[in-house]
Structure 1
Amino acid sequence: MKGFHDFPVINKDPEAIRKGNLRILREALDLQRERQGGDARLFAISPFIRYDEQGSIVATGEMAIGHIQALRIQGDRILPETGKWDTHYVDRGAEGGPRKRVKSRCPATLDGFTLRNAPQPCRVEISDPVNGLTVYAADDAEIELQFSHSGTYRVRVLSAPHTPGEWTIEVP
């Protein structure tokens, strides 16, 4: 009997593999639909986005719309939508329920060593030459940055409804 690893790999192209996997999934769903006589719309493949408690998109993919609806009923943060983590977020407080939205530009500005107009809530990431990456949860719109070493620092402000604000700071 041949094992899984005994079969030759015909195509290593990720897109071809994804399409092959979708074809197999569709065939399995068609077979299941024939056996159960269910509503064909529930078995239709749909794109989805998963999001976290802040509304940031954390996963995307495709699955049967009936499965997406079942997950939503169970309380999962999932929508039958297309979207990209870097350009979209989910507005959890939208009228009528969560809605995918396009991210706006980060309103934060850097004035010397002070971040102003930081969105709330947000995270501030500081990459420094000694300690690497440090992440802070920010609860003020104005944040005074302090550095203990000289060198080049990268500062990022992250908030679900906005594209990241990014700056490079030289500390003498």
Structure 2
Amino acid sequence: MATTPNYGVKIISKAVQPAIPRTTVTPITVSKLNTPPHLMPINIAFARFDDDGRIEFVGHTSPEGWERMLGYTAEYVVQGDADVDLDWVDGHVIKRRPENPTILDGMTLRNLPIPCQITVDGTTHDSQDETADLSFSQPGTYTVVVSAFPMLDASFQVTQE
């Protein structure tokens, strides 16, 4: 059974991420360090992202851990503080995700990004239109989410009487 080596990386779950003060990291030459990796300070913030720029996770690592990480995954990591839900990576730059322009007008979604996905209570539908009329077979309150990455999701509560 193969195991993934730990290169001094500390992953911070988005659910329990502590508030970490933003600091300036002074570049150092790793080869001049005589400190064992397990005793090195963890002070480089980073984000791991996918092909679309979605941030998969954020963490902090030591300078040596960062150098090792670059050796095997440089195209999918970027240095800096990021928020998994609010940021994305564009050209190796962490950016805020733009607002979704969708509005709910009665039972009609307007200003839909093209293309987008409309999710109603967990069921997703692809859309290529600027508007979508909503109707439901049963009365009740439904959660409708409009997604068009990299935009932020737009979420609405819709009541069918």
Alignment TM-score, normalising by the size of structure 1: 0.59
Runs of 4+ in 1 over 4 A off after TM superposition: none
User: Partners in 2 of 1:134 and 1:120 — Cα distance?
Assistant: 19
- Is the Cα–Cα contact under 8 Å of residues 135 and 160 in structure 2 kept in the other structure? no
What pairs with 1:1-172 in structure 2 (closer than 5 Å)?
Answer: 30-31=35-36, 45-63=43-61, 64-73=65-74, 75=75, 77-91=76-90, 97-127=91-121, 133-172=122-161
- Is the Cα–Cα contact under 8 Å of residues 120 and 138 in structure 1 kept in the other structure? yes
Query: What CA deviation, in whole Å up to 9, does each residue of 1:86-130 have, x standing for no partner?
Result: 221122xxxxx3321112221111223322222244332212xxx
User: Partners in 1 of 2:110 and 2:17 — Cα distance?
Assistant: 43
Change (3 A) 1:51 1:65: same
Query: What CA deviation, in whole Å up to 9, does each residue of 1:53-111 have, x standing for no partner?
Result: 332222111232213322344x4x221221002221122xxxxx332111222111122
Partner amino acid for 1:30? T
Aligned residues: 127
Q: After the TM superposition, which of the residue ranges 64-73 and 151-160 deviates more from structure 2?
A: 64-73
User: Partners in 2 of 1:116 and 1:168 — Cα distance?
Assistant: 15
- The CA RMSD over aligned residues, in Å, is 3.1
Query: Which structure: larger Rg?
Result: 1
Partner amino acid for 2:127? A
- The answer to which structure has the higher helix fraction is 1
Gaps of 5+ in 2: 1-15, 19-33
- Is the Cα–Cα contact under 8 Å of residues 71 and 78 in structure 1 kept in the other structure? no
Change (3 A) 1:15 1:54: closer
Alignment TM-score, normalising by the size of structure 2: 0.63
Gaps of 5+ in 1: 1-13, 17-28, 33-39, 92-96, 128-132
Change (3 A) 1:84 1:48: same
Identity %, equivalent residues = 25
User: Partners in 1 of 2:89 and 2:144 — Cα distance?
Assistant: 24
